[in-house]
Amino acid sequence: MTAQLDAVVRGAAEHVCPLPHLPAGVSVVRRRVRTVLANWNLAPDLAENALLVTSEMITNAVVHARPPAVLRLSRIVDGRIALRIEVTDEGPVAAGGRPVAYAGECGRGLGIVTALAAECGTRVHAGGVTWWAELLPP
């Protein structure tokens, strides 16, 4: 799984990481993201919010979408410091292919993303679906 998680770092402002399509991979990617955000010296509140939003977005991709999926983090500096989080996947799994969800364990992820992001949305394109969120310092 480590080979799958090798990330491409483009400059100091972008980090791209393929997502393993395994629930156990979410925690591995979350640790990698924590390291990237620490290296970018973001405000602690922004980094914590970004980690939570990233966790929700990558979990949704692993649980509800077809592989492959890729995470892209972009630090935006244009008179402000912001962070853009994108997860691109191949689109939703057919209803019959979804894992069984336990009551109370699902359904809050998009609400968390919406609450913490300054802006968020989706973009459907030839390569699949990109879910994105832009965060600003609190």
**Which among 40, 44, 35 is positioned nearest to 17, based on CA atoms?**
35
13-55 pLDDT, tens per residue?
A: 899 999 988 888 889 999 999 999 999 988 899 999 999 999 9
Q: pTM for the full model?
A: 0.81
The residue ranges of every structural domain in the chain are: 3-91+105-135
83-122 pLDDT, tens per residue?
A: 999 999 998 876 554 444 434 455 677 788 999 999 999 9
Counting every residue written for the chain, the total comes to 138
> Which helix (H) or strand (E) segment is 45 a member of?
helix 44-64
- Please state which CATH number belongs to domain 3-91+105-135: 3.30.565.10
DSSP string across 46-57: HHHHHHHHHHHH
pLDDT the model gives residue 6 = 41
